[in-house]
Amino acid sequence: MVDLTPSELNDEKCISLDPHLGWPKKAVHHFDRKQIVAILAAKAIRRPLLVRGEPGCGKTQLARAAAQLFQMPLAWLVVNERTETEDLFWRYDALARLSDANSKTGVKSEEHYLSAGPLWWALNPENAKNYEGRHSCKPYFGEGQHERSSDNGVLLLIDEIDKADRSVPNSLLEALGNYSFYVPYINQRIECTETQVPPFIVITTNGEQELPPAFVRRCLVLDMVLDDSSEDAFKAQLVKRGKAALPDCFDNDSTYQKIAEQLWEKRKGVKDSGVHMLPGQAEYFDHLEAVKAMKLLLPESTENDLIKELSELTYDKYRV
């Protein structure tokens, strides 16, 4: 377990994230006080943390960074419109069972076709090891000297839950409330035992559809938004994060500032047009990297020209 000092609770804590599995690029995450308090509170009272915000604002990265900060294995499920509640609990290979039933070998034991899902790993990783199966959802345990132990608990990320049918969050109420669920194939209840550190569950939503009130009520809620109530504060926040995430892009602060100004103007224009989706931090980082790359590919172009040309490619996709 990692202890956070009082100074870290009152200022941003910045950590570098190493690439792994589904995240091949290095990244830097800034924990501000609001995020740190939300994480500590949700862990303390054993409530899922529901993180809301526009796409690209760092919701998924927050979970990844929290897992690294607290040295917790990371299990996850990216939700889509075909996701069912059981996908979090287990994977059952019915096709393999049918194939065996039609073969000379015959059907094997039910355990042979069963794989532990991400919530199973989060609640009881020792038990889940017996059911890695063909469709394993085994968490990321780190590598080498950065290997993580399930003794710290497992962080479960349920990403973009708003893409699922409303029946999915409703069906998760009992499992998330009691930290247990029943597996009919083996007639066994999977639960977090008294000797285990409880999992930390982070759930993200882009707000594409409203979540059931009963589900939201079970969670603590963190809204991750870019504060654009003040132009100067908005730009300063982006420049600070841009320099930390992409420190080698430019030799001075002026380019970071100019690109932040472009985002401010584009964001204001999109907002005035009534479009729901606003360009944000992810587009700012894309703009920074694109300008850096194009300076090498088109050295005869001025930086100001590149900033202007690339701003249209980066931000105007949100216009109608």
Residue with tokens 């910045």: 14
Return the pLDDT at 21: 66
Domain boundary among 188, 223, 258: 223
| Predicted structure pTM score | 0.87
Q: What are phi and psi of 194, to 5 degrees?
A: -65, -25
Both 113 and 39 in a single domain?
yes
**Contact in structure between 99 and 92 (CB atoms under 8 Å):** no
Both 219 and 237 in a single domain?
no
Residue with tokens 């509640």: 85
Domain boundary among 223, 254, 271: 223
Domain that holds residue 263: 231-318
| pLDDT tens sequence across 227-241 | 788 899 899 989 988
Both 191 and 298 in a single domain?
no
d(CA 180, CA 174): 8
List per-block mean pLDDT (blocks of 10 residues) for the chain, which spans 320 residues.
Answer: 54 77 77 92 96 89 93 95 94 87 84 92 94 85 87 96 94 93 95 92 93 95 88 90 83 91 88 76 91 93 92 77
Both 190 and 262 in a single domain?
no
Both 91 and 240 in a single domain?
no
Residue 1 maps to a domain:
no
| pLDDT tens sequence across 85-121 | 999 999 988 888 888 888 888 888 888 889 999 999 9
Both 279 and 164 in a single domain?
no
| pLDDT tens sequence across 241-261 | 888 888 878 888 899 999 999
107: tokens are 């059907």
Residue 291 maps to a domain:
yes
Residue 190 maps to a domain:
yes
Both 264 and 200 in a single domain?
no
* Structural domain count, the chain: 2
Domain boundary among 223, 258, 282: 223
Cα angle vertex 212, ends 208, 213, to 5°?
120
189: domain CATH number? 3.40.50.300
Residue 180 maps to a domain:
yes
